[in-house]
Amino acid sequence: MASNGAADGFTTPNVLQAMLTMRSGDSSTKKAAMDYLQKFQKSNEAWTTTMSILQGSPEAEAQLFAATTLKGKITYDLATQIPESEHAALRNQILVLLKKFASGPKPVRVQLCVCLAILAIQMQSWKDVLQTVVGALGDDVSSHACILDFLRVLPEEVTEGRKITLSEEELIQRTSELLADNANEVVGLLINYAQSSSAAATNPQLFECITSWLREVPVSVVVNSPLLDAVINGLSNDRSLQTAAECLGIICRETRDVDDNLETIQALLPKVLQLRPRIQALADEEDVEGFKAITRVFADAGDSWVLLCAREPQHFRPLVDTLLECCARDKERDVIHYTFNFWYELKQYLTLDHYIQARVQLLDVYSKLVDILLKQLEYPESDDPNEFDLFDGDREQEEKFREFRHHMGDTMKDACQVMGTTECLTKVHEAIKIWREKFGGQATESAVPHWQSLEAPLFALRALGRLVDKEENIVLPEIMPLLVQIPINNEKLRFAAIMVFGRYTEWTSAHPDYLQPQLSYVLASFQTSSQEILRAAAQSFKYFCVDCKHLLGPQAIELQGFYNSILDTLSDHSKEDLTEGVATVISVQKTEDIYSLLKLYCDPLVQRLMTKANNATDDASKLELADHINLLTQYVQNVVPYWPSNSDNPAVRYWQEVFPILATILDNFIEFVPICERICRCWRFMVISYRTAITPLLGPLANKLAEGFAKSKQGCFLWASSAILREFSEDREHVEDGVVDSIYGFFEAQATNVLRMMSDIAPIDLPDVIEDFYRLLIDALLYYPQRLIPSALFTPIFQAAISALSLEKQEPVSAALHYIRDLLTYGGDNPASSSQQFGAVGPQLRQHVRQLLLSQGEALIKQTLAGMMITFPRDCFSDGSGVLLGMFELLPAETSTWVDRTIRMLPAGTITDAEANKLMAKINEKLQGGDRSNLRHVRTLLQDFTNTYRRRYIAPRDGLGMLEAARFHFEG
C-alpha cells in the first residue's frame, strides 16, 4: 500500500491494505490510511476499484466500504465524472451486483439498493425504473428481499435525499415519474407478494415497504386492499410484530385529517379495536417490546382520531377505554408515556364549551386515569422502610424515573382540567387519608411504613399547584394542616412536603393563617445535612418571600440573622434562591430604610467577598469568588426603590460604596473570564435597575468597562456597555447633554478597540466578541444614529460585519445580520429609530447609507448569498433573506447585478448557465414596472434558489474559491 498517499495509485490491493491498517495499525499509520481512503473516495479511480472489490473481495467489511463509497460517488460525482452516455452501463453493473448480493450480507445489499435509487433519481432518461429492476432481479425467492429493499429505499431517497443535483422543477418531475406514476403498480406487487406464502405474509420487509410507500399511496387504497389484513395479521406474529405495529400506526397517522378520511377511519376502527385482547395477553406474558408496540398502535390511533373522540364520544369510547387499559396494565411504566399526548389533546377539546357533552361522558375516564397515575407515581417498594436507594445505586435510572414522574404530573394536570380542581384535589386528599388510616399509626421517629403511597399524592398535589386558584377554600384547608405533620425523619416525604409548600405560596398569601406553620416547617429543614432537602427548602423559602413579601415584611431584620447564619452551608444555586427571597422582602420596605437594610444584609457578603478574593489562588477558589458576586447581583436586581430623580437613590448610594471593591477585584482577576463576566453582569444590572439614577457611578463605571475590554478582550464588557448606551441616549429624560457626549465617546473608544481586534484576529477566533459587539451596535444605531452614521467608524463597522458573515456559528452571524438589517432601514423612509424626528438631518443620513451600500453592497450581497447557500446556520436564513430584500428595496438595479455576479462565482458543476440565466430573468422581470410588491416575489425567488442550492450543494475540496470572505482590515 502507498502508506503516505496515492503514490502507487488507488488500486484494489492498496485500498484493501489501507482498510486493514485502519483496523490494526498504530495511530500514525491509521491517520495516513484514513487520509489515503478519503482521497480515494473522491478520486476517479474509485469507480472501478469499488466495482472490483464488490465483484471479487470475500470480506463483508470491504464489500460494505465499497458499497458505501459507490453511494457517495453516485451522489456527489456522477454529474462531473461519468458521462451521461455511460449511466446505463453503470446501472446494469449495479443490477448485476444486486443479483449477486440478493441473499446478503444485508447491509451491502441495502447500500446497493440506495445506490440504484440515487442513480434512478438523477438518470432522467430512465423511465421504466420499476419494471427494469423487477425484471433484472427475477422472480426467484432469493431476489424478493432485494426487490423489497429497493422498493423501501426509493421513496426515502426521493423525498429525503439532500444532495441531488437536479433543479427544483426536474426534481418535482422525477418524483412524479418514480413515485406517483408507480404507486398503483407497487401496491399490486406488494399484494401479490403478501399472498404468495405464509412466510411472505409475515416478512418484516413487506411492512417496511408499505410504510415507506404510504407517503405516496393514498391511505384509503391500502386500507381497502388485502394489505390491511396482512398488517393486522402481522401483529400476531413475533417475527413481524414490531414492523407491522409501526406500519399500522403510520396508516392511522395518515388519516389525521379526519374530515377527509371518515370512510377510511370507519373501516380502520374495528380492525384496530379487534387487537384489544392482545393487551392483556402481552402484559401477562411480560412481553415488554410487544406491549410497547401494541400500545403505540392504539396511541397513534388515538392521537389521529382525537377530534372524533370529542365529536362522537359514544362511538369512539372503546378506543378511549383501550388506551386507559394500556395504562392500567402497565405495571412497570413501560408504555404509559405513549398515551400522554392523547390525554392532552383530548383535554384540549373537552375543555371547550362546544364539547361539554363529551366532557360529561368521558369524565369517568379521566377520574380512573387519576387513580392509575397516583399508583404509577409511587417509588418502588422496599422491604426496609428506611431504604431510600430504591434503584440499586443506578443514578441514571433514578433520574429517568424522576423525569418520568414530571411527565405523569403533566397528565395529572390534564385530568384535573377535565374533572375540575376540587374533584381532583379530593382524590389526592383521599389517598393521603387512606395512608393515614392504614399506616399512620405505625409510623415512628425511625421508620415510616409504605411511605411511597403517601409521597405519591404529595407529588401529585405539587403538580396540580398551578391549576389551583388561590381562593380555593374546600380541600386545601383540609390538606395543609396534615402536611406540617409529615414525619421529618423520612427524607423523601420531607422533600415532597417542602416542595408542596413552595408551590402553594400564592394560596398561602391569601390564607395568612397557614403561613407560620408552613414557614417554620421549611426553616427547620435547613438544619438537615441532606443537600436535596436544603435545595428544596431554599427554593420554597424564595417562593414564600416572593409571594408573601408583604406578610414577611415585619420580619426583615429577624430574617437577616437566619440568612447570615445559614448561607455558607448551602450550594451556590440555593444561596441564590435564598438571596433572591430576602432581597424581595427588602424591596417592599419603606424607602428610607432601604440603605440601612442593604448595609445590614450586604456588608457581610462584601466581607466574605474580600476574604475570598484574598484567598483565591486556584481556579476552584476563583470560581467560588465569581459565584459569590452573583449574590450581590440579586440585590441589585430586586431592591429597586422608587426615588425622585432630583435626589440620591439610597440603593445607588450603597452600591457606590461597593463599586471600588468590585473594581479592585476586577483589576486583580482580569485574566479570569468567569469573574469578569459576573462583575459585568452586576454592573449591567445596576444600569438597568436604577437607570439614570446611576449617574453618580457612570464615569468610573464607563472607565472600568473600557479599560477591562482593552485588557481582557472579553465580550462581556461590550454587553455591559450596551446597557449604558440604552439608558443614557439622547431622547431620555433627565440626561444632560454633556453626559450624552461622554457616553458616545465611550462607545467610540470601545468600537475602535473591537475593530482593531477584528483586524488582527480572524473572525472564527472571536465569535463571542463579534456577537456582543453587534448587539452593542444595534443599540448604538437605534439611539445614536445621527452620530454613528456620519462618523468615520461607520464604514469599517459595516465591512467588519460582512467579514463576520463568513462564520458558521448562529449567534455572531445573527447579530451581524440584525445590525445590517437595521442599518438598511436608514437608507429608506422608515428607519429603525422611527420615533426620532431627524428633520433636515434625515436626507443626509439616507445619503450616507446609500453611498456606503454603493461602495460595499457587492461584498454584502456576495457574502449573504454565500451564507444562505453554503455556510449560514439554518436559523439565520430569514435574516439573510431580509438583507437581500432590503438591498433590492434601496438599490434594485445594482443589487440585481451583484446577485448575477455572485451566482456566476459558484463552484463549477453546481449550477448551470441555464439555471443562472433563468433565475436572473425572473428577478429582472419582477423588478420591471416599479411595483414594490414584486420585491417580495424576488425575495421568494432567492429563498427558493438558495434552498435548492443548499440541498444539492457539495463542499468544494479547496474552500469556497471566489466566494471566500475577504479579510477585514482596519487602519483607523
Q: Give me 509's grid cell.
A: 398569601
State the residue for C-alpha cell 450603597.
654
Q: Are 392 and 339 in contact (CB under 8 A)?
A: no
**pLDDT value at residue 5:** 38
Using DSSP's 3-state secondary structure scheme, residue 94 falls into helix
Cβ within 8 Å of residue 636, ≥6 positions away: 651, 655, 682, 685, 686, 689
pLDDT along the chain (972 residues), means of 10: 46 85 78 84 86 86 91 82 89 91 89 93 90 86 88 89 67 88 92 90 93 92 94 92 95 94 95 94 92 96 96 96 96 93 97 95 96 93 64 76 91 96 96 91 82 94 94 94 87 94 96 95 92 95 96 93 94 96 95 94 96 94 96 96 79 96 96 96 95 90 93 93 85 70 90 92 91 94 91 95 92 96 90 64 88 95 91 90 92 92 81 82 81 79 81 55 76 74
Using DSSP's 3-state secondary structure scheme, residue 394 falls into coil
**pLDDT value at residue 77:** 78
Q: Give me 830's grid cell.
A: 422608515
With residue 191 as reference, give the H or E element that holds it.
helix 183-194
Asked if the bond preceding 13 is cis, omega within 30° of 0, the reply is: no
Q: How many whole angstroms separate alpha carbon 142 and alpha carbon 137?
A: 9
Q: How many whole angstroms separate alpha carbon 490 and alpha carbon 450?
A: 11
Cβ within 8 Å of residue 960, ≥6 positions away: 866, 870, 871, 907
Q: Diameter of the chain by CA atoms? A: 95
Q: How many whole angstroms separate alpha carbon 894 and alpha carbon 889?
A: 11
**pLDDT value at residue 587:** 94
Work out whether the CA dihedral 99, 197, 152, 235 comes out positive or negative: negative
Q: Give me 117's grid cell.
A: 435509487
Full DSSP string of 817-833 = HHHHHHHHHTTSSS-S-
**pLDDT value at residue 961:** 63
Number of C-beta neighbours around residue 28 at 10 A: 9
Using DSSP's 3-state secondary structure scheme, residue 448 falls into coil
State the residue for C-alpha cell 451566482.
903
SS3 track for 142-166:
HHHHHHHHHHHHHHHHHHHCCCCCC
Cβ within 8 Å of residue 684, ≥6 positions away: 719, 720, 723
Report the phi/psi class of residue 961: left, alpha or beta, with left for phi > 0 and alpha for psi in -120 to 50: left
First-to-last alpha carbon distance for the chain, in angstroms, is 56
Q: How many whole angstroms separate alpha carbon 210 and alpha carbon 152?
A: 8
Closest among 655, 638, 549, 647 to 602, alpha carbons compared: 655
**pLDDT value at residue 165:** 65
Tell me the whole-structure pTM to 2 decimals. Answer: 0.83
Q: How many whole angstroms separate alpha carbon 113 and alpha carbon 116?
A: 5
Cβ within 8 Å of residue 206, ≥6 positions away: 148, 190, 193, 194, 200, 230, 234, 240
**pLDDT value at residue 685:** 96
Q: How many whole angstroms separate alpha carbon 725 and alpha carbon 782?
A: 10
Q: Are 636 and 655 in contact (CB under 8 A)?
A: yes
Q: Can you say how many angstroms the Cα of residue 679 is from the centroid of all Cα atoms in its chain? A: 30
Cβ within 8 Å of residue 367, ≥6 positions away: 415, 419, 423, 427
